[in-house]
C-alpha cells in the first residue's frame, strides 16, 4: 500500500453532508487497502468517485439497473472479472445520505459506513458480485470484513 500512487477523481453532486478532507483520505485508504488485500499490482490505479444523495442514486439505479429505488452504492467497473486490470478501475457512486441513514440504523459511525461502502464497491470493480449466489455473497462479505478490520474500523460478524 505504501508508495502506490492512486488517482481518485472526486465529484460531489450533493449538499446534504459535508465532504471533509478526513472523509476523502479515509476513502482513499479504503481503496488502497482493498487493492492491497486483493494483490492488485497497478502502479497508478484510477477510480472515479461521485457523492450523491438518495434522489441522485435512485435516478442512476433506475437508469442503469431498472430499479426505481435509492440504494447505497453503485459500481461501474471498466473491465470484466478475469481480465487484466490496468489503469482505470471504474466508477463508484455513493449516496452519502443513505450512508448516514445506514450508520444510524447499524449503530456505527458515518465514516465506518462510508468506508464499508467504498470497500464493497471496489470489490465490485474488481469483479466480485454478491448477487451471483450464496457462495459469492459469503466470499464477498468475508473479504469486506477482513479489509474493514485492516483499516481498523472493525465490523460485527453478520452486520452487513
Of 150, 95, 92, the closest CA to residue 126 belongs to 92
Given this structure, which CATH class describes domain 7-150?
A: alpha beta
pLDDT digits (tens, 9 = 90+) for 120-143: 999 999 988 877 778 888 999 999
pLDDT digits (tens, 9 = 90+) for 30-64: 999 999 999 988 888 999 999 999 999 999 999 99
pLDDT at 155: 57
pLDDT at 152: 92
Q: At what angle do helices 134-150 and 21-37 cross, to 10 degrees?
A: 120
- Per the structure block, which three cell numbers stand in for 90? 471504474
- Give 107: exposed, middle or buried? Use CB within 10 Å, 0-12, 13-18, 19+: exposed
Reduced to 3 states, what is the DSSP secondary structure of residue 121?
helix
What band does 154 get if pLDDT is binned at 50, 70 and 90? confident
- Per the structure block, which three cell numbers stand in for 135? 457462495
Going across the sheet that includes 73-77, the strands are 7-12, 46-52, 88-95, 73-77
Residue 111's CB is within 10 A of a number of other CB atoms, namely: 17
Contacts of 29 (CB under 8 A, 6+ apart): 115, 151
Amino acid at each position: 500500500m505504501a508508495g502506490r500512487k492512486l488517482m481518485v477523481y472526486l465529484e460531489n453532486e450533493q449538499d446534504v453532508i459535508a465532504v471533509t478532507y478526513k472523509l476523502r483520505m479515509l476513502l482513499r485508504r479504503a481503496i488502497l487497502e482493498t487493492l492491497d488485500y486483493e494483490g492488485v499490482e497497478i502502479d497508478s490505479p484510477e477510480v472515479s468517485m461521485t457523492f450523491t444523495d438518495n434522489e441522485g442514486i435512485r435516478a442512476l439505479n433506475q437508469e442503469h439497473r431498472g430499479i426505481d429505488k435509492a440504494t447505497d452504492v453503485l459500481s461501474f467497473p471498466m473491465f470484466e472479472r478475469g481480465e487484466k486490470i490496468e489503469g482505470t478501475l471504474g466508477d463508484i457512486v455513493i449516496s452519502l445520505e443513505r450512508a448516514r441513514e445506514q450508520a444510524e440504523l447499524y449503530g456505527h459511525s458515518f465514516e465506518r459506513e462510508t468506508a464499508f461502502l467504498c470497500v464493497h464497491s471496489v470489490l465490485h470493480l474488481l469483479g466480485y458480485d454478491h448477487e451471483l449466489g450464496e457462495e459469492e455473497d459469503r466470499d464477498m462479505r468475508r473479504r469486506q470484513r477482513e479489509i474493514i478490520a485492516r483499516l481498523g474500523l472493525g465490523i460485527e460478524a453478520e452486520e452487513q
